[in-house]
Amino acid sequence: MDPEAFCWLLTADGQAALGEAGALLADSDVITVGERLRRRITPEQAAVVTSQVTLRRAARDKFGADADGLYFTPEGLEQATRREVAAHRAGRLAATGLGTLADLGCGIGADLIAFAQQRLRPAGFDLDPVRVAVARANLAALGLNGTAEQADVSSLDLTGFDVVFADPARRQARGRVFDPDDYAPSWSFVERLLSRPACVKAGPGLSHDRVPSGVEAEWVSWRGGVKEAALWSPHLATARRRATVLSPTGSGTMTDGDSPDSVEVRGPGRYLVEPDRAVIRAGLVAGVAAQVGGWLLDEHIAFVSTDATPRTAYARGFEVQETLPFQEKRLRAALRERGIGRLTIKKRGVDVVPEQLRKRLRLRGEAEATIVLTRSAGRGVALLVKPLDGNDEAQPD
């Protein structure tokens, strides 16, 4: 979508076409909607409208009901921060009492919206003119204060801002990049930003050794999937490492101050506890063990066990029903004896491809079960487990 096409979308004719397309899409497919629109607008305009209503539907997962009144580009929607994560970060920044904020690489404005909703005074900057126009329109659609301007963020004068937020691009022509040295702007630019009051959004796979001295690294998850590693400059840091777990039913945050230096290692108890992935990324598994009165199955694997019913927002709990044979042939026989025909396989620390193993097991029966394949004190172990009530079903295995 070019700037001219997006500007047309904001006109009275464009808005009327959007409204018509949204209503038609409730009972028709996109192709039929496009055909109806082309009776009174150009094919190019119809394509812009159908793309927008399709994107709005796709955006509901990230933006909720607001998505139906916002504007998107395919790339912008894919890269946008989901609203729960953006709201958490914006709330933390608002709590500092700082006011004026520069959002570097603002994209379509997902974080700008969150900052403005927290009564910060945000100004967004992006090199792409379409993204800037979309960000402006999204602020206006929600009646929020804030600005968006086209600029090269690496050369901006930031002296007029109390705090800076940056979301470096982590995609190139060949796809997603994982090495911080391939970010744009560069990692050296990120390090310079962190010498002032700033927060930088990094990829969730960021390794601990890339976190600058004095900077807090916060891994944030939503329903068990890690969405980002937020880097907080020494001016804003309150810990070295933090795991923040967000879900539809609430949130929690754990820091390295909550995690002991060492934890006992021994065999499985009555319950198995699988820490949230943000906890694992932050290296705070010992904190979960301390919280549930448990221990590690293996010093190198992120599974905790306990004999007390685990009650924690930072992990999923399973009741251990049996220890089954770890050898494949004997495991197949054990599962058949129990009439298990549908099997969820969770694994950690063992060289197993669950889909391939499930085929080789040739399961038979009506029962459904979950097994965990892992190591305990260096040896392979297979545990037949039952998920505890309250586990988030949408959390990935």
Using alpha carbons, list the distances in angstroms from residue 35 to 5, 12, 13, 20, 40: 19, 20, 17, 12, 10
Which residue in 331, 327, 335 sits closest to 379, CA to CA? 327
Higher-confidence position of 206 and 178 = 206
Confidence band of 172 (pLDDT split at 50, 70, 90):
low
Please give the pLDDT value at position 393: 43
Higher-confidence position of 101 and 30 = 101
Using alpha carbons, list the distances in angstroms from residue 133 to 13, 113, 148, 303: 18, 14, 8, 47
Question: Does residue 315 contact residue 292 with C-beta atoms inside 8 Å?
Answer: yes
Question: CA-CA distance, 16 to 123, in Å (whole number)?
Answer: 30
Residue 34 has pLDDT above 90, yes or no: no
Residue 240 has pLDDT above 80, yes or no: yes
pTM surpassing 0.75?
yes
Residue 394 has pLDDT above 90, yes or no: no
What number of other Cβ atoms are within 10 A of residue 298's Cβ? Answer: 19
Tokens representing 330? Answer: 């004997």
Residues above pLDDT 70, as percent of the chain: 97
- How do residues 200-235 score in pLDDT, each as one tens digit? 999 999 999 999 999 999 999 999 999 999 999 999
Please give the pLDDT value at position 397: 38
Amino acid, single-letter form, for residue 212: P
Question: CA-CA distance, 115 to 135, in Å (whole number)?
Answer: 13
Range scoring the smallest mean pLDDT among 33-37, 104-108, 199-203, 243-247: 33-37
Which residues have a Cβ under 8 Å from the Cβ of 89 and sit 6 or more positions away? 81, 111, 114, 165, 199, 201, 220, 230
- How do residues 106-160 score in pLDDT, each as one tens digit? 999 999 999 999 999 999 999 999 999 999 999 999 999 999 999 999 899 999 9
216-222, strands of its sheet edge to edge? 147-150, 121-126, 100-104, 163-166, 198-202, 225-232, 216-222, 241-247, 250-255
Residue 396 has pLDDT above 50, yes or no: no
Strand partners, 40: none
Question: CA-CA distance, 93 to 199, in Å (whole number)?
Answer: 9
Amino acid, single-letter form, for residue 392: D
Residue with tokens 């792409």: 128
What number of other Cβ atoms are within 10 A of residue 25's Cβ? Answer: 17
Using alpha carbons, list the distances in angstroms from residue 94 to 1, 82, 87, 117, 194: 34, 18, 10, 10, 18
Tokens representing 164? Answer: 């800076």
